[in-house]
Structure 1
Amino acid sequence: MIPGDGEENRVGTAHRTAPALLAVLYLLSGALCWLGAAVPMDPATPVPLLWALGAVGIGGGAGLWLTADRARPWVLHAAVVVISLLIGVLAWRSATAVGIVGLGPVQIAVALWAAHFLPLPAARVHTAVLLVCAGTGAWAAAPSGFLSPWICLVVAVAVLAEAQGRLATRLRTAAGTDALTGLANRRAWEEEASRHLARAVRSGEQLAVAIIDLDDFKQVNDRDGHRAGDELLRDLAAGWSRRLRQADLLGRYGGDEFVLCLPATDEVAARALVDELAATHPFTWSAGIATARAGDTLDTVLARADAQLYRRKRSGRTT
């Protein structure tokens, strides 16, 4: 029942992916700037600027890579804004129309990164900022005659970002939702509960976690069939969801087990809430509750809740 190290490693890997890929984008952009400075394609190429932008790209990429494990969301947002501004500067100082339009691939890469890793509204804002920065730089640049390909580039960036953002949103929803009950699935619940726990441990705020295990659920499947069992799970999940607060996090842990994360809640309040949930449906179940302590991980809190759950089951007590 309790998640192992493999699950935690998968969660950690997912958290590192976004800053790591943004770091790669910075590093590649910096390397290409240095290549352009070392082998300029036009006598008017702004070589000193390319060396400087290359240093920013390499340095920023290295910083993002080294801090990928603990990168905060605001750092990633800031990094996307910075690279958008740098693209605008590079467009403004480009010596040729080809050089300006040649910034298209990096614009597409930045927009696709935002669309894949950020919520769709945020991705749209970043794409708009990117296009405004690049467009302003292109408009202020000395070369001309690239309006048609530039319009095609802007349309391509906007369309690709929107398509990727919508697809990523659907995939995230599907990946984090239990298909039967519509609740958060185990992976999604653990990710969100871990964030709540880290915040509670850091701030000293109360937080409770509950594990719910249905009593004699197998008999329902054996007696009435799996369809009846599925309907019971859906009814319980719907009834509990209506009774919970907006901040509470309910998830299906697997089979007939559910988990609750209750921010700003001590054990007494958590037990009272669990008793309220019991009133939503006549089917009986047992629940174990544990509250967060200093130095806790999600595993340790769940282990204490799990131990209380089985003590209550052995004693014959429900809810």
Structure 2
Amino acid sequence: MHSERRTAAVLLAVLYAVSGVLCLVAAAWPMRPDSPVEVLWVLGTVGTVGGVALRMFAGRLPWWALHAGVVLAGLLIAVLAWNAVTAVGVVSLGPVLISLGLFAAHFFPLAAARVHVVLLAGLSTAGALAAEPDVPFLQWLTGVVSVVALAEVQGRLARSLRTAAATDPLTGVANRRAWEAEAERNLARAARTGEPLSFALLDLDRFKEVNDRDGHGAGDALLRDLTSGWSRRLRRADLLGRYGGDEFVLCLPATDAHGAWEFLEQLEATHDFAWTVGVATAREGDTLRTVLDRADADLYLKKRRSRTA
């Protein structure tokens, strides 16, 4: 998530810088005597400085700052449209609108991206209507519709790709990569706030026998049944992930060891297939690896005890 936010900030910096440089070039070498040179200088400076600032602080900017950057870009486009001296100059802003719309659709949640696109279309249309030249309605409408349609398609595609990249295709729970990323954030939050945080490793007993006896289709069905029952018992903040073939992992925020065992008893009641679990509660200075290693050690201690019982 941090790397995606940084990538978004860098790309937004490029959009700002390129737009700013183009405005500065247009101000230095105006194409018409009545070109809004002063406005172009201001917009060019804001765009260039904004692009440099975004690039410098790309690794530290929160998401709200990127949302604000897109809104500000929409306002700057509206100002440029308002001060344009030709209808062609207004209509030629279409590629910039499309670029911003696609940016929002790719990096922001779909609902937020839609709000940005509507705001972008509204601001730029207001600027076009306020401009002195009469902007051809059909050409402008084509540009606005293109922004909305392309952003919607990109937003839906990005959401589908994120879901596919973060989900185990068989069970529908988080895959290992997505689970670890979210668990790291929960661990950092717990270290910051001091609230308890527990982890559990769940290993299915004799799962290989199911595959050998009834086939892999039966094994797959069992995994889906188990995770479906577990998922219905999860609290809003709990995170279930598939860690290996028949091994699953749970992140339980605001839960100490006692609470974790109580919760696991509820999960055990959802299906009669047996599984063994190891639990560990985060300590000061823990990394995700160290706390999972303790849960793993607890898991295999219980397995050894069950074999010798």
Q: Shorter-chain TM-score category?
A: over 0.9
The answer on 1:313 being equivalent to 2:279 is no
Cα distance 1:88–1:222, how it changes in 2: closer, same or farther (>3 A)?
same
Question: How far is 1:12 from its partner?
Answer: 4.8
The alpha-carbon deviation at position 151 of structure 1 amounts to 1.0
Which residue does 1:112 correspond to in 2? 102
- Tell me which residue corresponds to 1:100: 90
1:88 corresponds to 2:78? yes
2:129/2:135 contact within 8 Å kept = no
What residue number does 2:239 align with? Answer: 249
Does residue 1:195 correspond to 2:147, yes or no? no
TM-score by length of 2: 0.93
The separation in 1 between residues aligned to 2:154 and 2:148, in whole angstroms, is: 10
What do residues 156-185 of structure 1 show as CA deviations (whole Å, max 9, x unaligned)?
111111111112122222222111111111
Q: Which amino acid aligns with 1:34?
A: L
Alpha-carbon separation, structure 2, partners of 1:152 and 1:58: 29
Q: Which amino acid aligns with 2:11?
A: L
Q: Name the aligned partner's letter for residue 274 of structure 1.
A: L
2: CA distance, partners of 1:83 / 1:297 = 40
Deviates more, 1:51-60 or 1:80-89: 51-60
Amino acid aligned to 1:107? L
| C-alpha RMSD over aligned residues | 1.8
Moved more, 11-20 or 42-51: 11-20
* 1:26-175 aligned within 5 A: 26-175=16-165
* Distance of 2:293 and 2:13 partners within structure 1: 37
Q: 1:238 aligns with which of 215, 228, 231?
A: 228
Tell me the amino acid that sits aligned with residue 24 of structure 1: V
SS in 2 for 1:182: coil
What percent identity do the matched residue pairs reach? 61
Which of 212, 223, 227 lines up with 2:213 in the alignment?
223
Aligned residues: 307
Q: SS of 1:212's equivalent?
A: strand
Deviation at 1:253, TM superposition (A): 1.6
Post-superposition offset of 1:50? 1.8
Provide the secondary structure at the position in 1 that maps to 2:152: helix
**Residue 204 to residue 88, structure 1, CA distance change in 2 (3 Å):** same
Q: Which amino acid aligns with 2:130?
A: A
Aligned to 1:276: 266
| 1:179 counterpart (169, 173, 182) | 169
- The runs of 5 or more residues in structure 1 that have no matched partner are 1-10
Which range moved further: 194-203 or 292-301? Answer: 292-301
> Unpaired segments of 5 or more residues in structure 2?
none
AA partner of residue 192 (structure 2)? R
Deviations 1:219-240 (A, max 9, x none): 2212221111111111110111
CA distance in 1, matches of 2:19, 2:284: 43
> Cα 1:15–1:74, aligned 2, differ >3 Å: closer, same or farther?
closer
Q: State the secondary structure of the residue aligned to 2:59.
A: helix
Q: Would you say 1:21 and 2:42 are equivalent positions?
A: no
Question: 1:75/1:145 Cα in 2 relative to 1: closer, same or farther (>3 Å)?
Answer: closer
Give the C-alpha shift of residue 84 in structure 1: 0.8
Q: Is the 8 A contact 2:128 2:135 kept in 1?
A: no
Runs of 4 or more, structure 1, over 4 Å off, are none
